[in-house]
Chains A and B, each alone.
Chain A
Amino acid sequence: MQQVINVFLIGISIGSIYALMSLALVLVWRSTRVVNFAQAGQAIVTTYIAWEVVNRSGSFLMAFILAVAIGGLIGGLVESGMMRTLFKHASDGPVAAVAPVIATLGLLGVIRALVGLIWTNEGKRFESPVSTAGFVIGDTTLPFSRLNLLIIFTAAFVMIVFSIVFQRTNLGLALRAAAYNPEIARLSGVKVSMTRTIGWVFAGAAGAVAGILLSPNDSLTPYSLDVLFVFGFVAAVIGGLESLVGAVVGGLVLGVGLSFITFYLGTSLVFPTAFIVLVVVLLVRPSGLFGVKGARSA
C-alpha cells in the first residue's frame, strides 16, 4: 500500500510537469490553431539560461524568474515574428495545412542548433536546488523527495496564477473570448491579434517552467526535452487540446499512469503505452475527455 502511494505521488510530480507542457500547447492551440512543435525547443533555451544563472549566481529563484520571463518573451517573438508572416504567405495552396507544423519544426531545429553552438551538445548536469534524497519516515526511505515536493508546489502555483488570470481578469476574458470565437470577439472590441501573441507569451512561460522543473538532477542536452514534448502532446490530446483544465488533468493522469508502468512493468514500456493511449484517445474519443464535440475539424 505504501508503495502504491509513493508511486502515485511521484506520478503526480512528473505529471504536473507534463501538465505544464500540455498547458503551453493548449494555450498556443487555442490562440492560433497551431500545435507548436518548437515548444520544447523554446523551453530548452530557457532551461540552459537557467542552468547558466544557477552556475554563476547559485540562485535558483533568480534563474527561475529569468527563465520564465525569457520564455514568455521568446513565445511573443515567435508569434509576432514568424507565425504572422506564415499566416500571411501560406494561407492557401496544397500544403497550407501542414505549413505551421513544418515552420515550427524548422524553428525547433534552429533553436537546437543555436543552443548546441553556444553550450555544445555535451550533457550538462543541472544541480537540484533542494535535496533529491527521499523523505525518511521511521526507518524506511521513500523515493519521494523534496525535489518532487518542490515540483508539485511550483506547478500548482503556476496553474493557480493562470487560472486567476483566465477567470478573474479582463485580459483572461478577452483571451477566452478570442479562443471561443475570434470573429465575434473582434466585433466586441477585443484585439484578437494581440490575444494571439499573449497566448504564445503565456505558453512560452509555462513551457519554461516545465523545462526548468524537469531538468534538475538530470543531464541537460539540446535534445533532452523531446520526450517532454511528446508526453505534453499526449496529455493535451487526452484533455481535448481545447481545455486548460483538460490539459492539466491529462498531464496528471498520464504522469500517474506512466509512473505505475515504470515501477511495475519497466521503463521500456513507457513509450509504447503513451503511444497506444494517444492512438486510442484519438480514435475513440477524438475530442478528448474535456473537449467540445466537433472541435477537431481544424
Chain B
Amino acid sequence: MLKQKRDKSSKREHNPYRRRLLFFILLGWGLLLLGDRVSELRVYQGALIAIYALAIGSLILLTGYSGQLSLGQGAFMAIGAYAAALTQIYLQPPLIVTFIAAVVVAALFGAIIGGGAARLSGPYLAGTTLALALGLPTLANLFSFLGGETGLYFDVGIAPERFGAEFTLYKWFFWIAALATLIMLFFIQNILKSRYGRAWKAGRSNPAAAQLVGLQVGRRKVLAFTISAGVAGLAGALLGMVSLVAPSTFTLSLSFAIITGAVLAGLTSLTGSILGGLVLVVIPEIAEMVSGNFGESEAVTANFPGLITSLLLILTVLFTPNGPAEQWHHHKEKKKQKALEKAH
C-alpha cells in the first residue's frame, strides 16, 4: 500500500511546480475576465475575498501546518497596513515597494513575537496572541504619527492610464489584491509542499520524533510564525488600501473572522483559503437578504452573520475537526483501503 502510494505521488510530482503555476495563472486570468463583467460592488467584494483568502492562507500555514494557533493575525495585518501607509506617506516609492515594506516589517515583528510564541503551546499561545490583537491597535493612539482613531489613509493612487478611462478605482484595487493574493498563495503552496512544509507537519504531529530525526522544531516554528506574519502583513496592507488604516479596521472581530474562514475551509488545505474568503464575504450578504425579510432591523443585520458563521464554526470543529475537505478526503481514502482489502 505504502509503496504503491509513493509510486503514485512521485508520478504526480513529475512537475508539480509548473502545474501549480499554470493553475494559478489560469485562476487569475479567469478572475480578471470576470472583473469586467460584474458591478462595482461585486468587484469590491472580489477584492475583499482575495484579501481574506490571503489572510486565511497565512493562518493555514501557521496553524494547519506548524500547529500554532494565532488569534492575532489581525495584529500582524495592522502592522503591515501601517508599515505600507507610512512608507507611502513619507517616501512615496513605487507601489510594489510599499507592499514589500508591509511584508518585511510584519515579518520582522512576527520573528520577534514568534521567538516567544514557539515556546508556548495551545491555549497559551492563543491567549497571548489574543492579547496582542486586542492591545496592538490601541498603540495607534499613543503615537501621533499613527493617526489615532481616525487612522491613516493608504493611497495607492488611481490606475495607470494605459488601462483605459473606464478602469475604475475599485477595479484597480481588485487587480492589485487578486494579483498579490495569487502570487502569495502560489508561494505559500510551494513552501508547504517543500521540505519546510513537511518539517512543520512533522513537528506538529510529533515534536519528539521530529527532534529525533534532527529537525530543529523550535526554530522551524519561529520561521513559520515569521512567514505567516509577513503574509498577514501583506493582507493587512491590502485591506488598508480598500478601507482605512485605522484601529477600527483591525479589530478582534477581524482576527476571529479569519480563524472562522480558515476552519470552515479546512485548516490543513490551502486550496480552501479562497473558499474561506468567499464564505466570509457571502455570509453577511445572505444575512442582509434575510434580515431584509424581517423588516431591516439593525440588530439583525449586525448580528445575523456572526450567528451563522459562529454556528458553522462550532459545527465544523465538533463534527469535521479537520475541515470538510479533509474529512471527505479521509473518507475516500478509507473507502479505497477497504476496497483494496476486499480485493486481497
Contact = CB atoms under 8 A, between A and B. Distances in A.
Contacts of B141: 268
Interface of B: 63-64, 67, 69, 71, 116, 119-124, 126-128, 130-132, 134-136, 138-139, 141-142, 201, 204-205, 252, 256, 259-260, 263, 267-268, 298-300, 302-304, 306-307, 309-311, 313-314, 317-319, 321-322
A101 B126 contact: yes
User: Top 6 nearest A-B pairs by Cβ distance?
Assistant: A109-B310, A271-B135, A106-B313, A113-B307, A35-B123, A116-B303
A37 B126 contact: yes
A116 B131 contact: no
Interface in A88-135: 89-90, 93-103, 105-110, 112-114, 116-117, 120-121
Name the prevailing secondary structure of the A interface residues.
helix
The B contact surface, by secondary structure, is: helix
Contacts of B310: 106-110, 112-113
Given A94-B204, A95-B63, A120-B298, A274 B306 contact: no
Contacts of A103: 313-314, 317-318
B139 A105 contact: no
A120 B299 contact: yes
Contacts of B127: 35, 230, 233, 237, 278
Contacts of A97: 67, 69, 121-122
Interface of A: 29, 34-35, 37, 82, 85-86, 89-90, 93-103, 105-110, 112-114, 116-117, 120-121, 222, 226-227, 230, 233-234, 237, 268-269, 271-272, 274-275, 278-279, 282-283, 286, 296-298
A295 to B, nearest CB: 11
B142 A268 contact: yes
B317 A106 contact: yes
B303 A121 contact: yes
B317 A283 contact: no
A113 B134 contact: no
A32 to B, nearest CB: 11
Contact of A106 (B135, B311, B322): B311
A271 B138 contact: yes
B132 A275 contact: yes
Contact of A230 (B67, B123, B131, B306): B131
A99 B252 contact: no
A37 B69 CA distance: 13
Give the interface centre of B121, B259, B299 by most chain A CB atoms within 10 Å.
B299
A296 B124 contact: yes
30 contacts: A35-B127, A37-B126, A37-B130, A86-B318, A95-B322, A97-B122, A98-B67, A98-B122, A101-B69, A102-B263, A103-B318, A106-B260, A108-B310, A109-B307, A112-B303, A113-B310, A114-B307, A120-B299, A121-B303, A222-B303, A230-B131, A237-B124, A268-B141, A268-B142, A275-B128, A278-B127, A282-B119, A282-B128, A286-B120, A298-B121
A298 B122 CA distance: 8
B314 A110 contact: yes
A121 B298 CA distance: 9
A268 B138 contact: yes
Contacts of A226: 134, 252
Contacts of B318: 82, 85-86, 89-90, 103
A93 B321 CA distance: 8
Given A99-B321, A275-B128, A279-B116, 15 more contacts: A29-B123, A35-B126, A89-B321, A95-B321, A98-B67, A98-B126, A102-B69, A109-B307, A109-B313, A113-B307, A271-B138, A282-B120, A283-B116, A286-B120, A298-B122
A230 B138 CA distance: 14
Given A95-B267, A101-B123, A237-B127, A89 B319 contact: yes
Given A282-B120, A286-B119, A94 B64 contact: yes
A109 B256 contact: yes
Nearest to A85: B318
B122 A101 contact: yes
Contacts of A100: 123
B220 to A, nearest CB: 16
Contacts of B138: 268, 271-272
Contacts of A101: 69, 71, 122-123, 126
A107 B130 contact: no
Given A93-B321, A226-B252, A121 B302 contact: yes
A268 to B, nearest CB: 5
A117 B313 contact: no
A247 B256 CA distance: 26
Nearest to A222: B303
B267 to A, nearest CB: 5
Contacts of B268: 94-95
B262 to A, nearest CB: 9
Contacts of B122: 97-98, 101, 298
Nearest to B205: A94
A157 B314 CA distance: 36
A274 B131 contact: yes
Contact of A107 (B136, B314, B319): B314
Nearest to B319: A89
Contacts of B135: 230, 271-272, 274-275
A102 B311 contact: no
B139 A272 contact: yes
B128 A98 contact: no
A282 B322 contact: no
